[in-house]
Every structure is written in C-alpha cells, then in structure tokens.
Amino acid sequence: MNFSELLAHYQFPESVKNILNSHGIKDLYPPQEEAVKAGVIDGKNLLLSVPTAAGKTLIAELCMLKSILQNNGRCLYIAPLKALVSEKCEDFQNKYSPLGINIGSASSDSDNSDKVLSRYQILVATAEKVDALLRSRAKWLIDSLSVVVIDEIHFLNDASRGPTLEILTARIRQLNPKVQIIALSATVSNAREMAVWLNAELVSSSWRPIPLKEGIYMNEEIKFHNSVTREIKEDASQDVSKLTSDTVRSKGQVLVFVNSRKSSHAASREITGSVSKLLTPEEKKELAILADEIVGAPSSATKICRQLGDVVKHGVAFHHAGLKPDQRKLVENNFKKNLIKAICSTPTLAAGVNLPARRVIMRDYKRFESGLGSSFIPVSEYKQCAGRAGRPQFDTYGEAVLIAKTLGESKALVDRYIKASPEPVYSKLGNQAALRFHILASIAGGYVHDMNDTFEFLSHTFLSHQRLIPNLLDTIGDVFDFLSKEGFIEKNGFRFNATPFGQCTSRLYIDPATAIVLRDGLQKIHQGKSFSGIGILHMLACCPDSPLLKPGKSDTEDIEFFISNYQDELILTERELPQLENFIMFLSVAKTTMMMAKWIEEEKEETICDKFGIGPGDIYRHMESTLWLLHATLTFAELFNFENLTWPLAHLKNRVQYGVKEELTELTQLKGVGRVRARNLFEKGFKNFADLKKADLDELSEIDKIGKTLAKEILQQLSKPGRDFPDSNLSRLLKNN
C-alpha cells in the first residue's frame, strides 16, 4: 500500500494529502509501513523504536488526525523537554491549523488555564504539566482523550524526569483503558520489554532515511566501520578544525560534542579560523548583524554574550544551558538556515533540539562524574549524538566521527560505541523521593486511599513490570509512615486522606521534603526568629527542589566568610537540616545563596557570571526556581495563618523577580520597567509613584533607557483612576493576600 492508497483506505480528506505532500511527504518509510501493518492506524497501541529522522512523528500525526477528523477525538502529545514542546507545537500548527484543528501547548505552571487547555484538540505538553493536570483531576483530560503520544519514552531512564513520565503513563491507562498509546523511542536494547508493559505492538528498526557512516578519525583519515577510509587534508593544526573545514568546504554543517561548557567555548574559538575563510562576503555581513543581536546592548552584555558574538561572526557558535533562551533560539534558527556552519555543544543539545548536521564530531567520549572521576559516556548518549548526522533533503549520508590518538584507542572506541547496542531502559521510580512525591499526589488526587490501593496502582508501572523492588509493599508502607508522621496524610477509618498541608504540597508540585523545610522555617520565624531576606534565600536553597551551584576549590574561603557574616540570619541550620552536615552540600547551598543575594543587590549580570562561573541563562534559571519556591512559601504562610509574613515574602519575591534592592520594588511594578530602568529613574529623583505622577513627559523621556514611548506608557499606567498600583505580579499577590 503506497502513501496515497493509505490515505484513501483510511478515508483521510484530500486536504490532508495536500498538506503532507507540501511538506515533502509522499511515500512511507519501511518502519512506517511496518507500523501501519501492525494496526496502529486501526487503533492498536504501538511502540515505535527507530533512529532519529526515521519518521516516528508522522505515524503519531496520522493517528491523531484520524481520531480528530473522523471521531471528534482529543489528542495529547507528551514531549520530555520544553524546547521540544515548543518545536512540536509550532510544527503541528504550521501543518494542521488550515484543517481547522485547534492546537496548543503547555509546559509550565504559568501556561493557560485548564479551561483554555481543554479547547485544544491536540495539546502538546511536558510530562510534568500533564502530571499537574492529573493531580487537579482535570475532567476533560481524564474522560475525553482518544490518543496519547509519548515522545522519547526512553526518558523513563532519566532519574529526574523518568518517574513522572512513568506515573502519568500508568495513570492515563488506569483512568482511560480505551485510550490509544503511541510511544516513540530511540533504539533501545529492551524495547520488547517496554512494549509488553504498554500492551503495545512493537516496531523496532535500525533503518534510517539517510545512511549513517560511523568511523574513527586518526592521523588525518577517517576509517569508517565498513572499512572505507577517507583522507582529510586541510590546512589546520587541530583535528576538530580539520574535520570541520573539510565538511564546510563541501557545503555541509557540523555538530561538535564536547564534555563541558568550558570546552564548548574553547572548541568554538578553535575552529573559527577554519570556518571563516570559507564564508561568502554576504554570509559575513549577515553573521555580523546576527552577532550584534546576540550580544545586545554593550552596557548589559556579559562575557559569555560577547564570546558567543565573537565566534558567531565567523559562522560558529557554542550552545548550552548557560545561554539565555533567546540566544539559544537565535543560534538554533540560524543553524537551520545554514548561516551558522558549526555548533560546539555538550550532548544535551542532541536530546533537546532537532538540529541535524552532515557530520557529527564526538571530540570527547569521557567526562567528569562526581565520585567517579573521568568516566566513559553511555552508549545511548553516543547514539543520540551520532543520530543527528545527516540533514534530510540536503545530505545523501551523515557521518559520526570519534577522534582517537592511538591504534589501540581506535579499536577500543569501535567496540565500545560503534558496534555496541544502547543500554537497556530501567525504571527510576524506585527512588524513595520519587515514590513519596507521587504517592502523596495519588492520595491528594483521590486516586488511592490506602496501601493496598497504592500497591495495586504501582503494580501497573514499569517499576513493577521489571520487578526492581522485590518488597514493594514494605517500601510503600515506609512512605505512608513518613507522610503520616510529617502531617501530609491522616487516617480516617480505613482510608487515608491528604491533610490541607498535603493537598497544598501536591498542588504546588514540590517534593514533600521541600514542603517540610518551608513549613519548619516559617514556624521558626513565626515563633520569633527575625525575618531576613538572606535567611529566606538560604532556606530555599536548602530545599531538594532547588538547583544548586557546584563549589570549586577556590570557593571555600569566600563561602565560609559569607556564612560567618550572616550566621545569625540563617533560619535553618545544620542541626535542623542534616543534609548540611555534608560539607559539599553545605558549600553548594551557601554558594547558591550568595549568588541570589548578589542578584537582589543589583550586582551586574557579568560580575555574577564571572564570580560564580555561570552563564546568564543559569542566573535566570535559579531566579525562576527561587520565585516558585517563594510562591510555595507564601502559600504555606497563608495556610498556617502566618499573616505577618505575607508582605515581607511578597516584597522579597518582587526583588527576586527583578533583581533589585528594596528601594526599587515599587518602581518595578510598572510594566516595561526592569532593574536597569528602575535604577535610572531612581537616580534621577523618581523614587516612587508619587514622584512619577508629578513628572512631565519630556522630563521622563530624557532619562536613559526610557524614551518617549515608554514614558507615555508609564504616565498612562499611573493615571488610571481608583488604582494605587499598576498591574503586576506583586499587586495581584497583595490583593490575593
């Protein structure tokens, strides 16, 4: 059955065929044909385990389209990362909005309300967002789903995201046994085991639309696994530069994977000379404009921004989580346009963004692991990176190249990575922290009421299927004891119910251990401990949900000096938090507190980045995490009737959001006024709303970074009758409190 016959057989309208043809889809790939023969279009569950670009998503799309167009169904597409959610949603909208299908996304708590999300016929979301919706028992999600697509289901193997993905998969199947499950995965060695767990047909294949050549580079030649050898004769001193130049010269693009952010910076600088001389004059002009856009205003640009701009001028970029989201997006988009020729990155890029290249260079196959030293990366990670080789519609082949120095090393790399199969996927739900997190949510959501209910539900998880915990009922009992002792649940007759504290913790989507830290800290302040912004920031950094900065060898003296200065302001100490007795943890918590303290004291981003060895993207990630934990702290203050704490906590939340000292909190409530503009206004004598109301337009317009347009907006905000505060997060928070 060819593609046209398939669409006709399943009565797809001609408009679907036209849309797919316009996107270059006219024939089925072999794995797609197998999936159709397995009955996936007829509604059977399917696990499709194939390499990157082998057409997994199209099969899911056809199933969703059939359900929506023929049965008025509702579909859920679960992706593991926010970047993938955004990418898939945009792709689906571009393709299928002309059919009248309402498509939307959700990847964070601030996304649209349940009422808005319920209108989408295809909702693309992260596992965490779907889990949060299930906790709130969103009726539209539970009752009306017809197709659920789980993209990258091998993320079950991820310690941080895997448990949530596993729980929601089991929960959806429990609540709606008729829903069709389509799981998409990279090739894994235990795909059959995963398919049995999902009660799904299995299609597993190593077929790729663009052939992949895997080989080892040594002594100016690549020896591919099929014994073909290719000489690399380029005028460059470094191996990566030679391989990159060879690719770009033949109109290809390159991804270079290294073991650290610092290495990505160094590698990108190393190859600029080789790439730059191959650029056209027009490309150099475009890249100069792009570099200026990436750097932004010179007064606010950090060292990393300038470093990125410097290499982008030459057609090269580095990419990692230390960059701001808009910078990463600019790099990705211009790589897709073939303006940027090479990207140097850590392997996280391979998992998070669809960026194929002619040649993938694995410069580093070892990285430092805490407690283990220098360790080999997993085979699955190598395969994920290698799978990015080959640009559809541009290349007739892709190359994945490892670099070796000796013949012995070359042979070892072939055996370890090229000939090897990816590691099997194992459930990560057995971790005590993961179990208490999800068992509390199950009780709070009314899905289970006792240990037997919980055991029965967990028996449907991949954890139980793999029999990783032989005494699962005893483990569940330990979790119930913990939750009961700490006041998250209480027994009522033969049933357990979540207390208000437990309900609140589940809705906030935080670890119960985090909730305990926040509760105990608030109680200490309520009982007489002085409120301190530094003390609160330290308390938040002590929470398991807080990301932490890694301490370096040179940090110890500064950290100990900081702690000694603020010892009296700390709310919870080593005696109350046993985890702080671990010296490395103590240093990490303190360093994170120091960084956030610098942020709310208006330290420049560049200074913070230099002092703490981080990127601007890290600052904003920590800021967002701290804001969420402050929101949780405020919610608990309300729950426990600590009304005297709501104002100072709201005040601190505003400082964290904008990175300002106390004196600027009122000014930052103005739309369009952040830390820099607020400081400029303050220095010119406009210290509050009362001062601004007396100002005239020309006077405000002349202030640096304000200008006439924003000055007008500021005066309009202040002139609205009957309102003391313009719309802002803080004003809404204060109204709620």
442 and 499 share a domain? yes
Contact 479, 435 (CB under 8 A): yes
pLDDT value, residue 732? 45
pLDDT digit string, tens, across residues 204-218:
999 999 999 999 999
Task: Give first-to-last CA distance, the chain, whole Å.
Answer: 63
Q: State the Cα–Cα distance between residues 729 and 650, nearest whole angstrom.
A: 9
The average pLDDT across 184-210 equals 94
pLDDT at 737 over 50: no
pLDDT at 728 over 50: no
CATH, residue 618? 1.10.3380.30
C-alpha atoms less than 13 angstroms from C-alpha of 486 in its C-beta half-sphere: 22
Q: DSSP per residue over 171-234, as a string? A: HHHHH-TTSEEEEEE---TTHHHHHHHHT-EEEE----SS-EEEEEEETTEEEETTS-EEE---
The average pLDDT across 673-700 equals 91
The average pLDDT across 532-553 equals 94
pLDDT value, residue 735? 40
pLDDT digit string, tens, across residues 217-271:
999 999 998 778 999 999 888 999 999 999 999 999 999 999 999 999 999 999 9
522 and 379 share a domain? no
Contact 546, 540 (CB under 8 A): yes
Q: Which residues of 154-168 are buried (b: 16+ CB within 10 A; e: fewer)?
A: bbbbbeebbbbbbbb
Q: State the Cα–Cα distance between residues 620 and 543, nearest whole angstrom.
A: 18
159 and 292 share a domain? no
Q: State the Cα–Cα distance between residues 341 and 247, nearest whole angstrom.
A: 9
Residue that is last in its domain, among 444, 472, 503: 503
Q: What residues make up the domain containing 620?
A: 510-652
pLDDT value, residue 727? 44
620 and 666 share a domain? no
Residue closest to 379 by CA, chosen among 371, 387, 389: 387
On whether residue 88 sits in a domain, the answer given is yes
CA-based max dimension of the chain: 80
Q: Is 250 buried (19+), middle (13-18) or exposed (0-12) by CB count in 10 A?
A: exposed
593 token code pair: 């507190």
Report the relative pairing of strands 180-185 and 145-150 from DSSP bridges: parallel
pLDDT value, residue 116? 76
On whether residue 520 sits in a domain, the answer given is yes
pLDDT value, residue 142? 78
pLDDT value, residue 110? 54
pLDDT at 638 over 60: yes
pLDDT value, residue 724? 54
Residue that is last in its domain, among 593, 620, 652: 652
On whether residue 67 sits in a domain, the answer given is yes
The average pLDDT across 675-702 equals 91
Residue percentage of the chain with pLDDT more than 70: 96
Report the relative pairing of strands 489-492 and 495-498 from DSSP bridges: antiparallel
pLDDT value, residue 574? 77
pLDDT value, residue 733? 43
pLDDT at 111 over 60: no
For residues 553 and 158, the model is more confident at 158
pLDDT value, residue 107? 81
Q: DSSP per residue over 654-709, as a string? A: HHHHHT--GGGTTGGGSTT--HHHHHHHHHTT--SHHHHHT--HHHHHTSTTTHHH
606 and 554 share a domain? yes
Residue percentage of the chain with pLDDT more than 90: 76
Q: State the Cα–Cα distance between residues 524 and 518, nearest whole angstrom.
A: 10
227 and 292 share a domain? yes
The amino acid sitting at 96 is Y
- Torsion angle of the four alpha carbons 273, 274, 277, 281, in this order, in degrees rounded to the nearest 10: -90
In angstroms, the Cα distances linking 548 to 15, 336, 578, 584, 594 are 51, 33, 17, 11, 11
Quickly count: other Cβ atoms within 10 Å of residue 580's Cβ: 20
Quickly count: other Cβ atoms within 10 Å of residue 548's Cβ: 19
pLDDT at 731 over 60: no
Looking up tokens 């579909």 gives: 75
The average pLDDT across 414-435 equals 94
pLDDT value, residue 222? 96
Quickly count: other Cβ atoms within 10 Å of residue 289's Cβ: 10
522 and 563 share a domain? yes
Task: Please name the residue ranges forming H helices in 421-566.
Answer: 432-444, 451-458, 462-465, 472-485, 500-508, 512-526, 533-541, 556-566
Residue 449 backbone phi and psi in degrees, to 5: -130, -10
1 token code pair: 């059955």
* Cβ neighbours of residue 672 closer than 8 Å, sequence gap 6 or more: 710, 713, 714
On whether residue 424 sits in a domain, the answer given is no
Q: State the Cα–Cα distance between residues 179 and 44, nearest whole angstrom.
A: 10
pLDDT value, residue 227? 74
Looking up tokens 């197998």 gives: 34
The average pLDDT across 637-666 equals 94
487 and 572 share a domain? no
Looking up tokens 């230390």 gives: 322
690 and 622 share a domain? no
Residue that is last in its domain, among 171, 186, 204: 204
pLDDT value, residue 729? 45
The average pLDDT across 521-546 equals 94
The average pLDDT across 306-317 equals 96
pLDDT value, residue 24? 85
380 and 232 share a domain? yes
472 and 539 share a domain? no
CATH, residue 264? 3.40.50.300
Query: pTM for this structure?
Result: 0.91
On whether residue 686 sits in a domain, the answer given is yes
Please give the angle made by the CA atoms of 431, 436 and 438, to the nearest 5 degrees. Answer: 95
Contact 176, 143 (CB under 8 A): yes
On whether residue 582 sits in a domain, the answer given is yes
pLDDT value, residue 726? 45
Q: State the Cα–Cα distance between residues 595 and 324, nearest whole angstrom.
A: 17
648 and 664 share a domain? no
For residues 630 and 55, the model is more confident at 630
pLDDT value, residue 113? 63
344 token code pair: 């140097």
pLDDT value, residue 497? 96
309 token code pair: 């701009």
pLDDT digit string, tens, across residues 328-386:
999 999 999 999 999 999 887 877 778 899 999 999 998 887 767 789 999 999 999 99
What letter does residue 425 receive in the DSSP assignment? P
On whether residue 423 sits in a domain, the answer given is no
- Per the prediction, the chain carries an average pLDDT of 91
On whether residue 425 sits in a domain, the answer given is no
Quickly count: other Cβ atoms within 10 Å of residue 177's Cβ: 8
Q: State the Cα–Cα distance between residues 521 and 529, nearest whole angstrom.
A: 9
The H or E element containing residue 273 is: helix 261-276
The average pLDDT across 695-714 equals 91
- Which sign does the torsion angle of CA 569, 573, 579, 582 carry? positive
Residue 221 backbone phi and psi in degrees, to 5: -155, 150
In angstroms, the Cα distances linking 736 to 369, 444, 650 are 45, 24, 11
pLDDT at 673 over 80: yes
Total number of domains constituting the chain: 5
Residue 321's pLDDT band, with cuts at 50, 70 and 90, is confident
